[in-house]
A and B are shown apart, each in its own frame.
Chain A
């Protein structure tokens, strides 16, 4: 509809009105925000009623009737939460069916992962040394978990479980996925039609599939696709699926960074006589990656959450270890408590990364402001 066909005289006032007096200063008191108009009053009523109805129930379930110590029998009789189960089974939830005598090893792995992550948080630690530390750290984690040398008793991956598996899958899929993602993102932006079509095809296919189907493919089809004699264990199969998945998503994030670079950067590099490889390595990638660090951290959150899907291919990550622990017939099926505990661990990790991402975004943006 164009403005020319509108009857101007019908919509535009033809006479001039006296100016109105200035409106009175609006003062927002707590009462007017809470019940100033119909909508606010309705929100107050609904939210308040929900809180008043829910809070006592939650307190009576979690605190008043909650069982903090004792065995399964004590929980069976009480109407509240069975926290005793968590303190009793916390090791089984955290470390799965790993031999109980060797629990210090997965605990050390978790500590190592946590320490390395914390060390890598401040931007001044983003150095080659940190990268080296991570490589050494992951090697140490694998040696600790697997055993078989340095006087450690061997533990097969079948017995790995709990939080270390979740962390190793996350670190592994992101660490292996990132170089792949760089290649895919560069390929997608390539001027060579054959290569860009190939990369677009791979990225879009993976992104169009649910992770669940990728895990199916890896766990069911991969053994059939490999030649005889070459077998790969369940954990590695899940890692393949997660790596491919994270590579496709990271590639899309990186593409955003590549597209945000002005063409002048590449042209300037070429004018200086740098080859394509040098331009990419020294000029394009460092700037492109720096631009997308906050969204990259969001992909980390997505991957931490997605590792919980390995439950469907029979791996014992944090979630499935918890679920397995809760099936103990000596306890009155404390699933709710277990999932709350497991959910809390995921929440602490993911919420921490989310806050870090926000902080980083502000800090990195500070350098761009003039």
Chain B
């Protein structure tokens, strides 16, 4: 017995059984309480409610939605909105973050100074405060539609939101998409051939500029021939509102602007850290080869910085997706808004929260799998 007590393997097993048992007991206790409480209140557990009509409106959505649609559809609509906002913000924050990161490292005093102030202010105030501030600015500070601000031709800012020009396609949209796809494919194949040629001979294929210039001309001719055209539909004021163009509601506009500005400060710091991690010698080597600063950055520094940048950048992207749940604060119907409304209407709190958790854990798992695959691909090949 005494020998058994001092056996390391037995102790390890006992410890693990105790820890897991304790956790399981806690979960079981909570679950038991939940079951009793639900039974007392007469709430049926289950996902049957998903098939019932939701009966609440969703102010804007990518996916068509009516209040008579089911809860399942409403949740899908919310998820669509979340991914839509998340995708747009990730794209915009990456571009703006690159600008901020480079500006922070530039020799330009005005550029680096402004970028530093921007990053400090954005990172040291809560996102909720920023979102509410922009929302107040948009919904209270802006004039009504008749006196809308017009900073760029075709762009109007007013209490009704932001109206921007939208592209109008005449003719078949399928044909347009198909032709663009073919062009993209052709350009890709051409670039691949040009690269192979350069690798073999040391210089690019002759006549590549002419060929490149020919592509848009050819495309335009074909479009004209089949009667395809893309025009910008400029919004105009008519009476008290705008006609034409694309309207972003104040909620969506606030969310996009607020999240993008906030996230770009973090992305900018990640990119700056990556550039700092590449040795100064790389810059000097690039310069001594006669490359310009821009070329050194693009061809030598950024590709190496990317190894340092990608892992924190992916977790930042996931943070952006998580932060879109703050749409609730400004009233944009994202997934958390829809789930909160669903819980309010049906009382199915456990199911609602379970769906929200499941979706986020799914996205988080997918991102980390993707990340591991990418990390393996770009990992430094050492010989």
Residues of A bordering B, CB below 8 Å:
1, 5-7, 9-11, 28, 33-34, 39-40, 43-44, 47-48, 187, 191-195, 198, 204-205, 207-213, 216-217, 220-221, 224-228, 301, 304-306, 308-309, 311-312, 319, 323, 333, 335-336, 339-340, 342-343, 346-347, 350-351, 354
Which residues of chain A come closer than 8 Å to B325, judged between CB atoms? 210, 212-213
Interface pair A43/B336, CB less than 8 Å apart: no
Q: Determine the chain B residues whose CB is within 8 A of the CB of A39 once the complex forms.
A: 294
Q: Which of B40, B107, B110 contacts A47 (CB 8 A)?
A: B110
Contact assessment for A224 and B108 in the assembled complex, using a CB-CB cutoff below 8 Å: no
Give B133's nearest chain A residue, CB to CB: A339
29 contacts between A and B (CB under 8 A): A28-B107, A40-B108, A44-B108, A47-B110, A47-B114, A194-B16, A195-B15, A195-B16, A195-B19, A198-B19, A208-B364, A209-B322, A209-B360, A209-B361, A210-B322, A216-B339, A216-B343, A216-B356, A224-B34, A225-B34, A228-B36, A305-B127, A309-B128, A311-B128, A335-B132, A339-B132, A339-B136, A346-B124, A351-B124
Select which of A11, A306, A323 is within 8 A of B202 by beta carbon.
A11
What residues on A are CB-neighbors of B137 within 8 Å?
Answer: 336
Contacts of B37 in A (CB 8 A): 224-225, 228
Q: Are A336 and B133 in contact (CB-based, < 8 A)?
A: yes
Asked whether, in the complex, the Cβ of B353 is within 8 Å of the Cβ of A7, the reply is: no
Q: B349–A224 contact, CB under 8 A?
A: yes
Q: Are B350 and A224 in contact (CB under 8 A)?
A: yes
Q: Looking at the complex, which one of B16, B110, B132, B360 makes contact with A192 (CB distance below 8 Å)?
A: B16
Q: Which residues of B contact A1 (CB under 8 A)?
A: 199
In the docked arrangement, what's the CA distance between A172 and B106, Å? 41
- Quote the shortest CB–CB distance from A324 to chain B (angstroms): 12
Residues of A within 8 Å of B38, CB to CB, are 224
- Per CB-CB distance, the 8 closest pairs between chain A and chain B, nearest first, are A10-B202, A335-B136, A194-B16, A208-B364, A350-B124, A210-B322, A308-B126, A305-B126
B33 within 8 A of A: yes
Q: A225-B31, A225-B37 are in contact. List 16 more A-B contacts (CB 8 A).
A: A10-B201, A34-B109, A191-B12, A192-B12, A209-B322, A212-B326, A212-B328, A213-B356, A220-B343, A221-B350, A226-B30, A305-B124, A308-B128, A309-B128, A342-B129, A343-B125
B120, B126, B364, most chain A CB atoms within 10 A: B126
Question: Once the chains are docked, how many angstroms separate the CA of A335 from the CA of B361?
Answer: 36
Question: Which listed residue (B202, B322, B353) contacts A221, Cβ 8 A?
Answer: B353
A-B contact count (CB 8 A): 169
Q: How far is the CB of B70 from chain A (nearest CB, A)?
A: 22
Q: What 1/0 flags go to B1-44 for Cβ under 8 Å of A?
A: 00000000000100111011001000000110110111010000
For A210, the chain B residues whose CB sits under 8 A away are 322-323, 325, 336, 360
Q: Does B357 contact A (CB under 8 A)?
A: yes
Q: Which residues from B are CB-within-8-Å of A33?
A: 107-109
B329 interface residue per 8 A CB criterion: yes
A161 CA to B40 CA, complexed, in Å: 34
Which of chain A's residues have a CB closer than 8 A to the CB of B166?
A: none
Chain B residues in 8 Å Cβ range of A346: 124-126, 129
Give the nearest-CB partner of A193 in chain B.
B16
B285 to chain A, nearest CB (A): 16
A64 to chain B, nearest CB (A): 17
- Contacting residues, chain B, for A227 (C-beta < 8 A): 33, 36
Q: A224-B38, A336-B137 are in contact. Are A347 and B294 (CB under 8 A)?
A: no
Residue of B nearest to A351 (CB): B124
Q: Which of B12, B17, B103, B125 has the most CB of A within 10 A?
A: B125
Whether A43 pairs with B201 at a CB distance below 8 angstroms is no
CB distance from B75 to the nearest CB of A (A): 14
Q: Which residue of B lies closest to A201 (CB)?
A: B23
Tell me the nearest residue of chain B to A227, going by C-beta.
Answer: B33
Alpha-carbon distance A191/B9, docked complex (angstroms): 12
Question: Could you tell me the distance in whole angstroms from the C-beta of B59 to the nearest C-beta in chain A?
Answer: 18
What mask results when residues 296 to 340 of chain B are scored 1 for a CB within 8 Å of chain A, else 0?
A: 000000000000000000000000001101101100000010011
Closest CB of chain B to A172's CB: distance in Å?
18
With A and B bound together, what is the CA distance between A211 and B329 in angstroms? 14
CA distance A354 to B119 in the complex (A): 12
Residue of B nearest to A311 (CB): B128
CB pair B132–A319 under 8 Å, yes or no, is yes
Contact assessment for A216 and B129 in the assembled complex, using a CB-CB cutoff below 8 Å: no
Chain A residues in 8 Å Cβ range of B123 = 350, 354
Shortest CB-to-CB span from A59 to chain B, Å, is 16
